[in-house]
Amino acid sequence: MGFVTLVLSFSSFGQLQHHHHGSCATDEMHNLYMQNDRNYRDGFDQGQQLAAQIFDQLESGELNVPENTPYIIPVVVHVMYHAEVDNISDAQIQNAIDLLNADFRRMNADASNTRSIFQGVAADMNIEFRLAKLDPDGNCTNGITRTKTPLALAGNNAVKQLIAWDNRKYLNIWTVRTISIGAGIQGTVLGYATFPNPNNTPTSDGIVIRHDRMGSIGTSNTGGRTLTHEVGHCLNLFHTFQGGCFGAGDGCADTPPAAEANFGCATGINSCSNSSLPDQVENYMDYSNDNCMNMFTICQRQRATAVLNNNALRGSLVTPQNLAATGVEQTTVTCPPTADFTFREKSVCAGTAITFTNRSAIQDGDTYWWIFPGGTPSSSTDTNPTVTYDTPGHYPVYLDVNRNNQRMDRKGMEKAIAVRVNYPEITGIFSEGFETTEIPFPWHTINEQGHWAFEVTTQAAYSGSRSATLNNFDIRTNGLSTSLITPQIDMRWTSNLVIRWKHAFARTNNANSDQLRIAVSTDCGATWQIRAVKSSFILASMPTPISASWFPSQQSHWKEDFIDLSSFANSEDPILVRFEFVNGGGNNFFIDDIQLDATVSAETFARDERFVSVFPNPNNGAFQIAFDLPEATAVTAILMDVTGRQIAIQDPGVLPAGKSAIRFDSAQQLSSGMYIVKIQTAVFGEIIRKITVE
């Protein structure tokens, strides 16, 4: 009976005043649809009438459903990520599904916390959720998709346009970093969902939720009840405080009315004078804290059961035919394994350890074989191995997934890791015109997929005959970023620091969202500070879009740009400058004549060059450091490899003014390669020299 009243009175749905908290935006999104989308409004009204009819049949006993056979709902989770921090693990997603199932089957660990006054109406919803094992095309899946997109930064229905599976077969869940729905809601939105509606489409249905509210591990430190709450909405459950004390309510007589949403865990509150029962703050459909929520009610189970018994609502999800089509009825689905992995640190200093996260879809008994050229270890069978890279250069990574001792699938990234020396590689001002056959070391170029990196081209140049280019036209992966990174630059004794460059870029249409981001690192690429972001419109050097793959053919096709980096001048730490191009559907990108301008203290710089020299260089491990000091100073000389590991040290004490020398004749047999000599002086500071052992 309450159900019918709710349908007739639903125009009051939008009267609720809880916008200042903004935990769940389902009401706000629903109101927008009802006001602006007649197709949605008609479908919602029709759906509520259908659900009410089945609800009444369940209440009267006219319709009986098996209580010992749970409804099973296939689920797909679309991980929408902008950076790796958003790209939550399979384990976190499975944890979220496990908690969801515990809540819906009343097997949650805190079920006993339900107050005695409500124990009699607390219900097992008789619904379970399983990640899909077959995708819409019948291919094997783990029920998780991953899409890199800037839309994940402020998620809303726009992410659904990128990927959505048939909502008649799957419950779609999208995870994002934050949510911005533009509906006037204030505060932090944790998630929102759509009610059952025959007119819902895959791109208008489902749940959008912050990834830090998915489960209780990984990026989430919550109890996972946000997902339980939003799934409740998908199954036609409304907020327990719907309509306040005297409105239509949530359609359930066993959830006492509440004046407004409850936050925290106010178990002693009775906010409605027309009710003899306290507010049911432990109900999953309130806004209470996760550790306060612990129950659904018998009526809420009936409401959910009603929509699962009509194929126009959610019933198509739970049919035997659909369970077979999505693979969730089977304990195992025999599928070929799929190799996949990710990692965060793509440009590192020598000696850095990198942990690789395995995202492969495999079955019990399958094994892994990792290959790490240039790394230690060079191979591994661990699930998530940690590898150290000691020698500068670019290195690939491969992962094989094996079944019955045979390789079934491989993922390889040819330019996965860029390893650089961990000392300053150039001092002060520099210029680079890319007049070489490839990107010159120690410049680094890398992207998140290990390919489509910057290359040297002879087909375009602002000056000379070559430039660096990114084949952006063929990438077609929205949000994919590719970086070109300078060597480490010694900024001591500098001021008035400006970096300049020439670039050429054409849009393919006015809707392109490509970006050029310039960032600076003072810790060898471990962290980056964004200094400028150039949008597609600002970046374009051509006045109109060009739809075919494009190369600049004259200097007028290029733009000059610069940014001030004076805040990094005279820094004790060397800097890296990163040019990061983010694909947004535009044309190819070209860059040339990168130049760092600075005022360098001529006296200090000349003193550094004049006071200390190392010879012979190259050498066989034996060399001398010659000094010509204007005054006496204490000196310590340290021989290091490129990772910064100390090999030998000379501490002659105070050297006199004038000419003197100290000799290194390493007791160790040095392998060929580059080494660093760091000379520390009490008067003149630290001086770095590079040597080559042959």
Contact 176, 85 (CB under 8 A): no
Contact 136, 166 (CB under 8 A): yes
User: Is 230 in the active site?
Assistant: yes
Rounded to 5 degrees, what are φ and ψ at 47? -65, -40
Contact 172, 165 (CB under 8 A): yes
Both tokens of residue 35? 């006001």
HEC-encoded secondary structure of 96-164: HHHHHHHHHCCCCCCHHHCCHHHHCCEECCCEEEEECCECCCCCECCCEEEEECHHHHHECHHHHHCCC
Say how far apart CA 160 and CA 97 lie, in whole Å: 20
What's the alpha-carbon Rg for the chain, to the nearest Å? 32
DSSP letter for 606, please: H
Q: Catalytic: which of 59, 67, 128, 230?
A: 230
DSSP letter for 422, please: S
SS3 for 51? helix
- Within 10 angstroms of residue 321's Cβ, the number of other Cβ atoms is 9
Both tokens of residue 166? 């048939």
Say how far apart CA 510 and CA 41 lie, in whole Å: 34
E strands in 305-392: 341-342, 347-349, 352-355, 357-358, 367-371, 375-376, 379-380, 386-389
Contact 64, 190 (CB under 8 A): no
Say how far apart CA 19 and CA 31 lie, in whole Å: 13
Among candidate residues 316, 451, 441, the one with its CA nearest the CA of residue 396 = 451
Both tokens of residue 238? 């409304």
Both tokens of residue 137? 């095309």
Instruction: Taking each helix axis as running N to C, give the angle between helix 26-36 and helix 38-60, from 0 to 180 degrees, rounded to the nearest 10.
Output: 120
Active-site residue list: 230
